[in-house]
Amino acid sequence: MSDLVAVADASNWDGEVMKSTDVVMVDFWAVWCGPCQMVAPIVEELAQEYQGRLKVMKLNTDEAPEVAGKYQIMSIPSIIFFKGGEVVEKIVGARPKQQFKEIIDSLLSQSSATA
């Protein structure tokens, strides 16, 4: 895993995600999940491409079930985008990289327009 992708868990959730002023993309995943393994390289590529503009986190749902439960994660992978501690977008299931980029670009353009 790239050093651009941080690990989220219950201990750092508030500081890294809820109190962040950046757009935060959180990949809810598990080791045993095949589609999660398919999405992982895309998440890493996005972290590199959007470095400095998007915070990218991964949360293992087996290791932090209380956080996953709070966001009603029923299927993984689930990618949730946060802004100012609020959920602003959610993707469930493996998707092509372009779909992620469209959402990220839209969220970043909204953020720069309000800044």
Catalytic residues: 33, 36
Cα 46 from Cα 23, distance rounded (Å): 13
Cα 24 from Cα 35, distance rounded (Å): 21
Cα 32 from Cα 17, distance rounded (Å): 25
Cα 90 from Cα 18, distance rounded (Å): 16
The answer to whether 47 touches 4, Cβ cutoff 8 Å, is yes
At residue 25's C-alpha, the angle toward residues 112 and 52, to 5°, is 50
